[in-house]
A and B are shown apart, each in its own frame.
Chain A
Amino acid sequence: MTEIAFAFRCVLSSVLIGTTLAAAGEIPMSERRSGYDMMSADTKAMQDDDTANPASLWVLEGETLWSTKTTNNKSCADCHGDTAQSMKGIAARYPAFDTKLNKPIDLGQRINLCRAEHQNATPFAPESRELLALTAFVARQSRGSPIVQDDPKMQPAIAAGRALFEQRLGQLNLSCAQCHDDNWGKQLAGSTIPQAHPTGYPIYRLEWQSLGSLQRRLRNCLFGQRTELYAFDAPEMIALEAFLMWRARGMPMDAPGVRP
């Protein structure tokens, strides 16, 4: 089990003026590597072949849900049409700022907003099979699309995410940055520490034997640090997601990924 235990200390990251300031230890753009890039050839092959990638089951279910009409007789497809066109590159741009709610939301929240507002349907629970299926189906349309995180309205969330990333947390007093900026590529017991670029989400994680969201993956690391978890969709989780996507800007999406 690689549910790693860790910790952080309370060096409150100095006030973040802007996310363009490079922090010490930050990985240079030219040295960034995705989790996919660091995987074994076997795991890469499993991801690349749709018939072997277990996430394909969720993608297929998502495709069905996409064209399923709800009580108001509307399906996602009725508004958005052909996903290959309308959803290309969309997952690569989330979290995004929702002007109506006046806050950043991630892709799962966006899907649930559409259900509530346009389909007159109840939102799916976080990590529910249906929400993961629709997210996987939408994210699949962004394979190869570069990650974009350039909306100025996202800056506060990105800055907050960076502060969290650099803060020591939990009983083990470790920060995300200490592992993912300073020690990527090394072995934490049996696991190679990746750079934590969220290119492949939702992922089929071999350790979970299931599909899971980026938030679930983040909770694994927080749990490892022995940090009190944030609730699903808490502003801290969205901020971390936004910072990680900004940190991975320009990198191609490979969702739905397979990860160890």
Chain B
Amino acid sequence: MAAALCTIGGARAGADELRPYTVVGDAIPAPLTGAPGDPERGRAIVGNRQVGLCLLCHTGPFREEHFQGNLAPDLTGAGARASAGQLRLRIVDASRLNPDTIMPPYYRVDGLERVAANFRGKSILSAEQIEDVIAFLVTLKD
């Protein structure tokens, strides 16, 4: 991964303000928010089919969820395979790592086509929600 160093100001007129972040190599090392994420809330987001949508594609350590997807790697052990910063870039905009990825860009509002009116200008998850998800994913050590 070429050591890209760039800053994205998500602010577009009319769009909900996205906070700027800095990509270093294959990671976003700094949290998007001042307050640390909450792993419990993160787990709930990942498990929720209307909010995180993760289990549509991924399987993960969720015994209580019966229908999990198999389009994407198992999230079990995700926190052992990647650092918090690497996970952050993956969630924020996985297309920066793999342009052909099917994983949706959770913190991007530009470069999208024909977004439904109720979602237009909004990222899939908020900065706080992303930090919650990362706080949960880093606990998945094995």
Contact = CB atoms under 8 A, between A and B. Distances in A.
Interface in A225-251: 226-229
Contacts of B105: 7, 173
Contacts of B117: 228
Interface residues of A, number: 30
A167 B66 CA distance: 31
B48 to A, nearest CB: 11
B110 to A, nearest CB: 9
A178 interface: yes
What is the size category of the interface that chain B forms with chain A? Answer: 20 to 34
B49 A171 contact: no
Interface stretch (B13-21, B26-34, B68-76, B130-138): B68-76
A188 B69 contact: yes
A172 interface: yes
B95 A9 contact: yes
B68 A226 contact: no
Nearest to B93: A173
Given A186-B71, A188-B57, A10 B104 contact: no
A105 interface: no
Contact of B53 (A5, A182, A187, A229): A5
A154 B114 CA distance: 25
Contact of A226 (B56, B57, B66, B119): B119
B113 A10 contact: yes
B2 interface: no
A162 interface: no
Given A172-B124, A229-B116, A189 B104 contact: no
Interface in A8-39: 8-10
A223 B115 CA distance: 10
B70 A186 contact: yes
Contacts of A7: 104-105, 112
B50 interface: yes
A204 B84 CA distance: 46
Given A1-B49, A7-B104, A173-B105, A186 B69 contact: yes
A228 B68 CA distance: 26
Given A173-B104, A189-B67, A10 B111 contact: yes
A170 B116 contact: yes
Contacts of A169: 113-114
Contacts of B66: 190
B102 interface: yes
A6 interface: yes
A168 interface: yes
Contacts of A8: 112-113
Interface in A129-176: 167-174
Interface of B: 49-50, 53, 55-57, 66-71, 95, 102, 104-105, 111-117, 119-120, 122, 124
Given A168-B112, A173-B95, A190-B66, 5 more contacts: A170-B116, A171-B104, A171-B116, A172-B124, A188-B71
